Structure 1
Amino acid sequence: MSKSKVDAVSIFVRLIFFWRVLGFTTNYNKHLVRIYDVFVTIIVTLAFPMHLMLGVIFAKDKETIFINLAIGISSIACTAKHFMLRPSIDKILYVNNILRQLDERVQNVADTDYYVKQMREKAIFMINFFIVVYFSVAIMALLSALWTGKILYPAYVLLDWQSGTWRYLAVMTFQTFGLNMQIVQNLTNDAYGPMVLCMLSGHVHLLSNRVIHIGHDHETDVDDNYAELVRSIEDYKLLMSTTKLVERIISSSYMVQFTAVGVNVVVGLIYLLFFADNLFAYCYYLFHIVAIMIEIFPCCYYGSMVQAEFHALSYAIFRSNWLTQPRKFRRTAITFTELSLKDVTMTAGGMMRIHLDSFFKTCKMGYSIFTVLQSLK
């Protein structure tokens, strides 16, 4: 495997590009970028979700209410996550530098192979998955609007778009631009968490591999074995501090995400059971519910992986050849084992675990609400 592929910064290059599209982390003219940033904030971050929620208030029929409410909740959640994640850009770039330091510890062919296949390829797959799914929604919404001669969403707009072609094009331009820019915001919010957790869990796994092999090479001097153990402890401390930093970065945004998913599931189920009257409506809201559930799965999965890999580290220390090492090595190994026994659990907002348990609890909640609403119907 090519050593050049062991580079965490190159994995996050598209996220950095999206942040530049949104108006920050760029080296271009600062004054022009600031003007562009203000424009995006006013038009996309504030005006777009506002016109969707005003569409709920001034809606004349139930179908319009639920269409605007479903997309409006997602849009407001996207705006909230954007404002929460944005101040952490410097911390995100700092985490990238730490990951680059950890990349330098990937030395042998087996570890490089694991890095490329289990970390790099999976992280790139996730960003590709989010890009394809999110922009597919925008394309389908645009094609549907053009086919029916309507606007993307029946939200509240100042112009009477039905009274002229130019007004229709103006409203379509606003909604298309707002939708696509909010998709970019959502990409940066939703893709960063699982990508960075994938990298962290992989580096903990590689640390375990390095620890397991300590002392098994009989040609290695005992002093070199002890030095490798000390380096492993330093790597562990660095991984622990980085995990806590990542938790602070994504915690509040994922609390908003879990809340928005719960509310959207309820809205979708209410419409599905009480107001949907045709096959298209049933299919749309069924896929809508499934899609928002899948949206939180990658981060929950890799949150579980981080916890599992840290938990396995103590077993890796035991599997090293500590029996044949001098007393100084064994005492340090015991200290390392005591450190590694600490449970590492990432939380959203300090309340909900970023873990598969939370994902399955959300699924159970959706099913419970479904049964209750079904009995009411």
Structure 2
Amino acid sequence: MTPSVVPISGLSVFHFHDVTWRYVGQMPPKKKLHRYSYYLFSLLLNIIITVGYPTHLMIGLIKSDSKADVFKNMTINLTCLASSIKTVAIWWRLAEVQKIYAIISKLDKHITQPADCQLYKMVAVRRAQRLLYFILFIALGATISSEVATIIGGFLGDWRLMYPAYFPFDVERSVWGYAIAHLYQCIGVTVQIFQNLINDTFPPMALAMLAGHVRLLNVRVARVGHDARVRRQVSNAQFLLCVEDYKDLLEFRVAIQRICSLGTFVQILVTAINMGVVIVYLIFYVDGIFAYIYYIVFLIAMPMEVFPLCYYGTCMQLEFEQLTYAIFSCNWMDQSVAFKKNLLIFAEQSLREQIVIAGGMFAVNLGTFFATLKFAYSLFTLVIQMK
């Protein structure tokens, strides 16, 4: 007797994103009663934070007098600017998110074997969940360390803003002015952190889910025809169902590329530039232990935002490459002529390389990640020579 399969939903891993999108003004409610008030909330939030936060940092960067302030402001300026660009890019492609949800729901229904269900949990659902917790830990760690460094520095007699920036009132000579400016920066960076979280976690988590479903497809394809109790017509129908799932997986990959193309391109460039700038700032301008700790955390956090996406991009690519071997692992020799024709066509299609391209230039894989680190080091050496 075959044990019953507990229904599993891959969409559960994206619950955090749906809730966060709602609170950052990107996903309106389905009820029309609250929709217009939500639009007003979204407009105000995005003008004040998504547009206003990087703008006040950019003006502060332009007005900075010292090199230390320039390097200090440049890192957070580029980070917030990249976050705003990624926020707009993903908002523009939210329809693709719903398309991904529909594909995952459809593929989940084809998980009928207990072993497949367990494999799905291990290679897709749990990996995506761990990825979310990992990036959440890094992002909140960087934010908390920045706030702690600012507060401790203030109690030691040096009350400064978290980041040098422009405000239309005197921040240094007014207690209320400083409190308002500090509160705005604290709230603004928190909103940007959560925007960045969904920007940086959704594409790699979607890639993890895609890689998991491709692994399951490989297992299902390799299993076709080995059960002697199943007739040829049934085996051919099972094989054709795998072909249909393969088409859905290709659409899955295209949807991910449309979502993350611009944002990932910007993230790779900003990460490389910021790493070089932070290293220069650490060596020449940091004068406090807490600021030093913050920028060390910041330096580690930046490449870690890119690494999961590149890692699961490579995993997805390798899983697709295994599909050809899975096709010829099935018991195709004992099948009908129609089955063998379908197999040849499917095998030919499976030879095509499946990768995600960022900005039409960078392949989202580990090769690009290491190239980013090399570019950051090259930029650092260039700045050192210019200095």
Short-chain TM bin: over 0.9
- Looking at structure 1, the residues matched to 203 and 11 of structure 2 have their Cα atoms a distance apart, in angstroms, of 15
Q: Which moves more between the two structures, 359-368 or 102-111?
A: 359-368
Aligned length: 377
Superposed CA deviations along residues 184-224 of structure 1, whole A, max 9, x for unmatched, are: 11011100110000001110110000000111111111111
Aligned match of 2:36: 31
Residues 5 and 172 (structure 1 numbering): CA distance in 2 closer, same or farther, change over 3 Å? farther
Q: Which moves more between the two structures, 276-285 or 293-302?
A: 276-285
Q: 1:294 aligns with which of 287, 297, 304?
A: 304
- Looking at structure 2, the residues matched to 331 and 2 of structure 1 have their Cα atoms a distance apart, in angstroms, of 34
Residues 293 and 180 (structure 1 numbering): CA distance in 2 closer, same or farther, change over 3 Å? same
- Looking at structure 2, the residues matched to 253 and 175 of structure 1 have their Cα atoms a distance apart, in angstroms, of 23
What SS does structure 1 have at the residue aligned with 2:209?
helix
Aligned match of 1:18: 20
Alignment of 1:252-291 (within 5 A): 252-276=262-286, 283-291=293-301
TM-score by length of 2: 0.91
Residues 363 and 79 (structure 1 numbering): CA distance in 2 closer, same or farther, change over 3 Å? same
What SS does structure 2 have at the residue aligned with 1:36?
helix
Say if 2:61 and 2:70, in contact at 8 Å, map to a contact too. yes
CA shift for structure 1 position 258: 1.0
Q: 1:17 is matched by which residue type in structure 2?
A: V
Say if 1:322 and 1:330, in contact at 8 Å, map to a contact too. yes
- Looking at structure 2, the residues matched to 59 and 113 of structure 1 have their Cα atoms a distance apart, in angstroms, of 56
TM-score by length of 1: 0.94
Residues 3 and 123 (structure 1 numbering): CA distance in 2 closer, same or farther, change over 3 Å? farther
What SS does structure 1 have at the residue aligned with 2:353?
coil
Q: 1:197 aligns with which of 180, 201, 207?
A: 207
Superposed CA deviations along residues 103-150 of structure 1, whole A, max 9, x for unmatched, are: 111111111111112211111111122222212222222222222333
Q: 1:134 is matched by which residue type in structure 2?
A: A
CA shift for structure 1 position 326: 1.9
Residues 3 and 121 (structure 1 numbering): CA distance in 2 closer, same or farther, change over 3 Å? farther
Aligned match of 1:79: 84
What SS does structure 2 have at the residue aligned with 1:323?
helix
Q: CA RMSD in A?
A: 2.1
Say if 1:205 and 1:309, in contact at 8 Å, map to a contact too. yes
What SS does structure 1 have at the residue aligned with 2:322?
helix
Residue 9 in 1 paired to residue 11 in 2? yes
Aligned match of 1:217: 227
Say if 1:126 and 1:191, in contact at 8 Å, map to a contact too. yes
Residue 97 in 1 paired to residue 107 in 2? no
- Looking at structure 1, the residues matched to 215 and 119 of structure 2 have their Cα atoms a distance apart, in angstroms, of 9
Q: 1:98 is matched by which residue type in structure 2?
A: I
Q: Which moves more between the two structures, 327-336 or 139-148?
A: 139-148
CA shift for structure 1 position 364: 2.1
Identity %: 32
- Looking at structure 2, the residues matched to 5 and 153 of structure 1 have their Cα atoms a distance apart, in angstroms, of 48
CA shift for structure 1 position 307: 1.1
Q: 2:230 is matched by which residue type in structure 1?
A: T
Q: 1:40 aligns with which of 1, 21, 45?
A: 45
- Looking at structure 2, the residues matched to 145 and 3 of structure 1 have their Cα atoms a distance apart, in angstroms, of 53
- Looking at structure 1, the residues matched to 97 and 251 of structure 2 have their Cα atoms a distance apart, in angstroms, of 14
Superposed CA deviations along residues 291-324 of structure 1, whole A, max 9, x for unmatched, are: 2112100000111111111111010011111111
Say if 2:72 and 2:281, in contact at 8 Å, map to a contact too. no
Unpaired segments ≥5 residues, structure 1: none
Say if 2:142 and 2:297, in contact at 8 Å, map to a contact too. no
CA shift for structure 1 position 288: 2.7
Q: Which moves more between the two structures, 188-197 or 62-71?
A: 62-71
What SS does structure 2 have at the residue aligned with 1:161?
coil
Aligned match of 1:305: 315
Aligned match of 2:73: 68
